[in-house]
Structure 1
Amino acid sequence: MNISLVLQMAADTFADRIALTHNSVDYNYGRLYASAKAAAARIVESGASYVSYLGESNPATVVALFGAALAGRPFAPLNYRLTVPETNRLIERLDPVFLIADEDKLATIPTGAAQVVMSAAKFLATVITDQQSDWEAPEDEEGVAVQLFTSGTTGEPKAALLRNQNLLSYVLGTVEFGSAEEDEATLVSVPPYHIAGISAILSSIYATRRIVQLPQFSPVEWLKQCAEQRVTNAFVVPTMLTRIIGHLDEARTVPDLGALRSLAFGGGKMPLPVVQRALHLFPHVAFTNAYGLTETSSTIALLGPDEHREAHEHPDPMIARRLDSVGKPLPTVEVEIRDESGKVLGPNELGEVFVRGPQVSGEYQGRKLTDAQGWFPTRDSGFLDADGFLFLAGRIDDVIVRGGENISPGEVEKVLREREGVADVAVVGVPSVEWGETLAAAIVRTPGAGLTTEALQDHVRRKLRSSRVPEHIRFVDALPYNEMGKLLRRNVKAMFAG
């Protein structure tokens, strides 16, 4: 099987149903499938080994993804926010490539860097058709369907490989085919070069839920599209939800969100106060916290709507704390917590999260990180409670070693966020002559808050051990996040340089 099966089934069953809306233009499943076949023919004819997309979400993204699959070529979307030199180095790694780009990106691509270069508009104009051809997809479960470049915080980005069998295992194991009603629509505001963007396309089409594309996120435009397009489902990253709530708290008029039924979030740690505020603001909405990685073909654990509502303000603290978890592993995924020696740990013991399952790739170009039994080390720190709920404590690399004691930044950040007046916080390790490493906290205050360094240090000291008290505190206007809502801790550390 091939991931094009997802679109083929939708087109065979619901050819005339609207699959995609972009800038108020609709595309049905039959047209998308016919166009993907036409794209596949162009791709094979070009002799390219890869298909790449450099730009914002567009119908061309969807056609290129499935066109690549039908052609048996990996789809390798690029981060359009990278610098020109960074982008061109990635294009070189994809040679020979069939490259589709936004109009403003074309001039930055060196002549001869790609086998074929065309704008997204020209690509669509070339391949959009309603005429179904007899093009057959290659049956290659082992073939690479999608290649995603990691953010590359150190050195050049790594190329994560997701094979057809990985992505299909995720979709077929989590979504029921044709389960969406015809009036359902999902708002996709995550970029196409991120696993969340890829999985949103595959999952929505398999469910036959209409995709509404939002190329550039803003809280105003997100709310507008929700109202105008009668959006029923959406996915956001932490910074998006924070900005949406902030806008709603300040807005005099609120768009009609009566159609919104489900809101999923993921891509980074969601601050607990944001989740609690969202549950108050949207009492009719079913919330889902999704935890996953690029190397696991998206989601591997979920905290579902019922679990959100049960944990919210529950009198039992052990149940209430589940709101800060990422829920339980999917039925098709196994999770273990291990210590540094590889020993499997018991409930509530902190260690590294390992995962195993058919959707788990754990593969980069040139190397495989899964062990002989198929276990993948996520490099995330966390624990499972006695009921199987997974709690994350940050990245293993973010652990602060103070005087030989391992300290999770998330533990301290959670306590600081409980303090009234703290809008956002990041805790990092900085060099210390006495301890080797000590804690530093960057704090964003809510408007008018009169917080002091001493008051915050006393607050942490009362809640945690003295070793958890940040030695350095700096008040800042905002914390650095990437476009997917992940905190850039290396940039926070730079605030405390010297």
Structure 2
Amino acid sequence: MNTGCQAEVLPDLSPAHALLSAAHQHPDRLSLIDAESERTFTLAQSAGCVRRLAWYFTTSGLSAGDRIVVCAPNSVWHFLIHAAASWIHAVSVPISPLLPEAVRRRLYDEVAPALIIGEEHFTPHTSNLLACLSFEDLNMLARETSNKCPADFSPLPCHDETAALVFTSGTSGKMRAAQLTHANLWWASQCFRDGFEYCPGSAVCGVVAPLSHIGGFNGTSMDIFTHGGTLVVFASFDPLEVARGIEKWRISIMFAVPAMCHMLVQAAREATIDLSSWTRPLVGGDAMGASLFDEMSRMGLSPIHVWGMTELGGAGTFLSPERWPAHPGAIGFPFPYIQCRLRDAQGNLITEAGQAGIIEVRGPGVASRYWGEEERENEWFSSSDIAVFDEDHCMHMIGRSSRVINTGGELVSPAHVEEALRALDCVADVCVVGLDDERWGQIVAAALVPATHEELSTENVRNLVKDSLAPWQHPRRIRWVEALPKTTTGKVDFSQAQSLFA
């Protein structure tokens, strides 16, 4: 009998290993569909492509910890590249191509990538950059080197290694990259599986949320891809085309923000499109109102309300359609492997129903740090969201503890928008606020003090800031005022500024 202490053996959570296993068992099963070109990959083809990419990364000099940036519209390549990066313990960094160029360059400099893959070619100020490639370049180079790939070239086992850096807007407005490990992503996927009750191997997942966001990158999509299911990837969101895609490919599960869902349902109704295969509509990124739930229900859909954050791998709480009637509008209960609690402003735990507090979470899916920052000492992660429990301990969102505006699932820093607007010659002062909106959750609105006699239209103002702000950061409403409302201390009164748009 061996009485000695045995070393802990960590499970292999490699997405590449999982994909190879699924391909070995079901080589001809459909794996990836590019919705625009209708190009398809079987599991065997996906696994072969991932192997070629991993070997190309290796022969190019990439190694463990090197960052691989993917900056492009949604594509099947995001998933293939991530699995290939995991093969050698490299790190995926998805970045939105819609961000202003200056912002993208800053993010590149921050993560210091070894490789940038996307639709444009330029060299950022980083010393260890090996190449900037298009998807076509990458595919060609990987094929050219694949004939030298040794038979024993196998994926490295993965667990606590960094898998991805996914940027999120913080309450300060500064974009920070959550440093997610393979274990973080794997546990978030287990939360999704047990909470949404889907089987990854038989699921057909639509991908419409941006892959630079956790909802697109890991909102069931990565789990389904690497474990033998089918992904239908839409390069951009066109409600009519996505609705047709749901009907054509019998998409069964898909994450979308409420604004997308409103447009999808409307497009499907007007064009008489069958959405019945979409048995698991995951609605998150913003609050799902009763009107949207009722609208989707009339279409025969059963929406699942989801709350999550990048730092949690996407998995926080959810509310099943069966529980909606008793808790309308709630963000629900924690996923199986997540714990949630509320604390008041003084740090006291909240146990009584109806008392508001900051949501705090912990669990194996929660990232322990941001890129370039120290590891968090507290096992509980404090969000910027304020919520209350009801009598059943079901959580209801109240709002954000900061001024961050949530528009269509995109977080917007008012300070960042104000900075861009103040740079205009026609603007003397500005205050940016979020206004409630049925479709978008909130919209960006700006109260402007003119510097000249010219008061431009909303469209003209949006055109002037298009090079400094992303599309979702543009003000949808503006109002020219003689002066901004101020408090007795001389600071801008944000509640009064909001009332200017009433």
**TM bracket, shorter-chain basis:** 0.7 to 0.9
Identity %: 19
Of the three residues 327, 330, 334, the one matched with 1:325 is 330
Residue type matched to 2:381 in 1? F
Conserved? CA contact 2:162–2:181, under 8 Å = yes
Q: Deviations over 1:216-262 (max 9, x none)?
A: 1011111111122222222211110122234346x2x3123233322
In the alignment, is residue 117 of structure 1 matched against residue 129 of structure 2?
Answer: no
Question: After superposition, what is the alpha-carbon deviation per residue over 1:45-86, rounded to whole angstroms, capped at 9, x for unaligned?
Answer: 223421111101222211111111111111011111011222
- Distance, in Å, in 2 between the alignment partners of 1:187 and 1:241 is 13
Q: Tell me which amino acid in the other structure corresponds to 1:43.
A: F
Residue type of the alignment partner of 2:315: T
1:315 maps to none
Highest RCO, 1 vs 2 (Cα 8 Å, sep ≥ 6): 2
With the length of structure 2 as denominator, give the TM-score of the two structures: 0.73
Instruction: Please give the alpha-carbon distance, in whole angstroms, between the structure 2 residues aligned to 1:439 and 1:178.
Output: 42
Structure 1 unaligned blocks of 5 or more = 312-318, 400-408, 411-425, 429-437, 447-475, 481-485
- Paired residue for 1:90? 107
The structure in which a higher percent of residues are helix is 1
CA distance in 1 between counterparts of 2:434 and 2:32 reads 44
The one-letter amino acid paired with 2:47 is: Y
Letter matched to residue 251 of structure 2: V
**CA pair 307-115 structure 1, distance change in 2 beyond 3 A:** same
Between 115-124 and 292-301, the greater mean CA deviation after superposition? 115-124
Matched residues in 2 for 1:56 and 1:26: separation? 18
Partner-residue secondary structure (3-state), 1:391: strand
C-alpha RMSD of the superposition: 3.7
Alignment map for 1:69-108 (pairs within 5 Å): 69-102=86-119, 105-106=120-121
Partner of 1:349: 355
Quick one: distance in 2 between partners of 1:487 and 1:99? 23
Return the alpha-carbon distance in structure 1 between the equivalents of residues 193 and 31 of structure 2: 16
Q: What SS does the corresponding residue of 2:402 show, helix, strand or coil? A: helix
SS, match of residue 175 in structure 1: helix
Q: Does 1:306 align with 2:322?
A: yes
Amino acid at match of 1:292: G
Q: What amino acid is the match of 2:371?
A: Q
Contact kept in structure 2, 1:226 and 1:257, CA below 8 Å:
yes
- Aligned residue among 123, 132, 139 for 2:157: 139
Q: How does 1:164-179 map to 2 (within 5 A)?
A: 164-175=182-193, 179=199
CA contact (8 A) 1:356 1:375 kept: yes
Q: Distance in 2 between matches of 1:38 and 1:259?
A: 34
**CA contact 2:206–2:254 (8 Å) conserved in 1:** yes
Moved more, 120-129 or 14-23: 120-129
1:98/1:376 CA distance change after superposition, 3 Å: same
Change (3 A) 1:68 1:440: closer
Which residue of 2 is the match for residue 127 of structure 1? 142
Aligned pair 1:192/2:211, yes or no? Answer: yes
In structure 2, the gaps of 5 or more residues are 1-11, 407-411, 415-430, 440-457, 463-469, 485-502
Contact 1:6 1:202 in 2 (8 A): no
Deviations 1:264-304 (A, max 9, x none): 11112223322222112x22x33211111000011121111
- State the shift of 1:87 in Å: 1.4
8 A contact 2:32–2:76 mirrored in 1 = yes
Q: Work out whether 1:359 is the aligned partner of 2:365.
A: yes
TM-score, normalised to structure 1, is 0.73
Amino acid at match of 2:255: F
Q: Per-residue displacement from partner, 1:158-208 (whole Å, max 9, x unpaired)?
A: 1210011111122234327992565x4221111211111221332212553
State the alpha-carbon separation in 2 of the partners of residues 439 and 332 from structure 1. 38
User: Paired residue for 2:312?
Assistant: 296
Task: State the one-letter code of the partner of 2:209.
Answer: V
Task: Identify if the C-alpha distance between structure 1 residues 134 and 443 changes in structure 2 by more than 3 Å, giving closer, same or farther.
Answer: same
- Distance in 2, matches of 1:223 and 1:444, equals 23
Compute the displacement of 1:109 (Å).
Answer: 6.5
Q: Distance in 1 between matches of 2:356 and 2:480?
A: 28
